Structure 1
Amino acid sequence: MLDWDGLRYFLEVARTQRVSAAALRLGVQHTTVSRRIQTLERELNTRLFDKSKATGFTLTEEGTRFFAYAEQIEGTVLKAREEVSGQSQTLSGHLRVGSTEGFGSYVLAPLMMDFQRRYPALTLDIMPVPRFISLSKREADIAISLERPQRGPYLCTKLLDYSLKLYGSKTYLSQCAPIRSKAHLAAHDFIGYVEELLFSDRLRYLEDIVPTDRVIFKSTSVIAQYHALLQGRSLAILPCFMAEQDARLAPVLHDEITITRSFWMYCHEDLRHSTRVMALWDYLKKSVQLNKALLQGNSGQLLYLEGDAL
């Protein structure tokens, strides 16, 4: 009979590829993790990991096959614990959501605080980061991304299309000649991404609008770009849900320059039976639809679902 704790330790090491990182997430000593992995390998009579200083703990072929079964067991145990403890009725416990940086900070964070107000027994983590969230490593329960996952045992839905426009500070625009066409952009400097560090090709759009030699400030962070824009020395493309909430900014060539991208929400397939995960899933789906005008640049106000019931 395999020990469930042994499976938990195995899953954490497989996801983090480091005994020390797995120990930190499990709240135990790294020697305990090593001992549990060794015990599990003896019980299975096989080597689950290849170990090296360069790559850490990587799954062997047998380990990869065992990982799939261990994840299924984990999902069953989590669902059983939720049902037996009554969490499915009271919505207690913990949830973590990973998201793109701008959306996570300017839309998701306030919405999740409203969700927590409705379910005060829940605790929430939000991870707005300029990279993809790994659900296979259980970095989050729900991920919101610019791209639909191409493979994996995921439940996935398109949240909404959103718009990006060219913006400048009102102070800057009042001091320069009126911008009436794209040709006038040649006289201005711009803010953009560090192209070689882009985590998604969906963030490539500035190069189609302006000469690259006029990009004087670059950052991997859209929030850093936003704050640089507020200094009033250049122009930048920003998501409307960020810029339209700031009265200090104004769109440039509003009817001529509009970029459309999409947000996708997904979670691990085995979480479709988790009541608290699906409650947050439904809440976010409804809330984002409610804020269609903000995400598409037709409003500057974030709206919340009415009442306490979803």
Structure 2
Amino acid sequence: MSSTSAIDWALYRSFLAVLDEGSLSGAARALGITQPTVGRHVEALEQALGLVLFTRSQTGLLATEAAASLRGHLQAMASTAASLEREALSHGGSAVKGVVRISCSDVIGVEVLPPTIVRLREAYPELRVELVLTDRVQDLLQREADIAVRMVEPTQGQLIARRIGAIEMGLFARRDYLERHGAPSDPTQLAGHSAIGYDTVVPYIRRLEQKLPGIRREAFSLRSDNALAQLALLRAGAGIGMCQVPLGLRDPALLRLLPEAVSVPLECWVTMHEDLRGSPRCRATFDALVEGLLAYVGG
């Protein structure tokens, strides 16, 4: 194997793009470079590593076992490189500027954070915000994001974490749905209604099932693992479903049901890596998110 000590990051970046896109042309479009350049990068990396990384097929390039085994390391390198670039661009004084990357769930990102981001950008117009909407707990230690809004308490010791409080989850339905089908007076009557819920059991769902033993996947007439899709169905009057209580109460078309019987707290935390505590862009964003979420939870 050739020495790998001086391999250009551009070769790795092209390799990862081919892994993700499945072809040289797709990788070239994603990177904004020419297809021959991507091909030369892959060939150079194969020579430097002494490995065959791809085999050709009718459907494109197929990653070899060796190539697939490198994907996790390359993704970590890409995250670190992006984090380094964001941090470097933010320096040059104490002004809040540069790019900050925030990770949060779909509902928080779409329904809760936009007003906070608007105020943040008005205060700091040189700040650029990247909003990553995912329910996956992104690894702040690998710098996949600068700041994360999480619904579980962080356990990594290198993270700064601020507990926002519990976002209550409750049952809601649109008023006209209840006019057509009636409102349940106790949880046992939910079985006679069109229920909106999940399709795949995840840790949050397991906690929900423990608190509400009658809740099971098979009980739902409408299933989706996308929380925004569930919320859209709820707002359309499709049935009864779970919703964040502060979100449901601000919609006059929705009515909360069985509040004493169905109330599930969902812990909310704002977190970032401790190495970013001195970054003006991250500190300002962290504080703004905390302020906005505290107002949301407090109603």
* TM value normalised by structure 1: 0.71
Task: Tell me which of 157, 163, 186 is aligned to 2:161.
Answer: 157
Contact in 2 for aligned 1:159/1:288 (Cα 8 Å) = no
Aligned to 2:192: 187
Aligned to 2:32: 27
Cα offset, 1:278, TM superposition:
2.6
1:231 aligns with 2:236: yes
Aligned residue identity for 1:290: A
In the alignment, structure 2 segments of 5+ residues that lack a partner are 56-60
| Aligned-CA RMSD value | 4.0
Aligned residue identity for 1:10: Y
Aligned to 2:111: 106
2:184 aligns to what SS in structure 1? coil
Distance 1:107 1:74, change over 3 A: closer
For residues 114-263 of structure 1, the aligned pairs below 5 Å read 114-133=119-138, 140-148=145-153, 155-160=159-164, 161-195=166-200, 200-204=202-206, 205=208, 208-210=213-215, 212-263=217-268
Contact in 2 for aligned 1:92/1:121 (Cα 8 Å) = yes
Aligned to 1:82: 90
Q: How big is each residue's C-alpha offset from its partner over 1:231-277, in whole Å with a ceiling of 9 and x where there is no partner?
A: 33421011123212211111111122101122344445654443212
Distance 1:121 1:229, change over 3 A: same
Task: Tell me which of 264, 278, 284 is aligned to 1:279.
Answer: 284
* TM value normalised by structure 2: 0.73
Q: How big is each residue's C-alpha offset from its partner over 1:205-243, in whole Å with a ceiling of 9 and x where there is no partner?
A: 367334654411112222221221233342101112321
Cα offset, 1:284, TM superposition:
1.0
Question: More deviation in 222-231 or 245-254?
Answer: 222-231
In the alignment, structure 1 segments of 5+ residues that lack a partner are 294-298, 300-310
Q: Distance in 2 between matches of 1:258 and 1:11?
A: 47
Q: Distance in 2 between matches of 1:139 and 1:255?
A: 39
Aligned residue identity for 2:204: R
Q: How big is each residue's C-alpha offset from its partner over 1:41-73, in whole Å with a ceiling of 9 and x where there is no partner?
A: 87xx64589546445744559x95x99889778
1:91 aligns with 2:93: no
Q: How big is each residue's C-alpha offset from its partner over 1:116-174, in whole Å with a ceiling of 9 and x where there is no partner?
A: 111112222323345454668865433333345666x9635254321110111122224
Cα offset, 1:105, TM superposition:
0.7
Identity %: 22
Aligned residue identity for 1:201: P
Q: How big is each residue's C-alpha offset from its partner over 1:3-41, in whole Å with a ceiling of 9 and x where there is no partner?
A: 79x336536755884476765564333543554566578
Q: Distance in 1 between matches of 2:18 and 2:286?
A: 26
Contact in 2 for aligned 1:107/1:241 (Cα 8 Å) = no
Aligned residue identity for 1:235: I
Contact in 2 for aligned 1:192/1:219 (Cα 8 Å) = yes
Aligned residue identity for 1:145: R
Equivalent pairs counted in the alignment come to: 282
Contact in 2 for aligned 1:166/1:251 (Cα 8 Å) = yes
Q: Distance in 2 between matches of 1:135 and 1:11?
A: 21
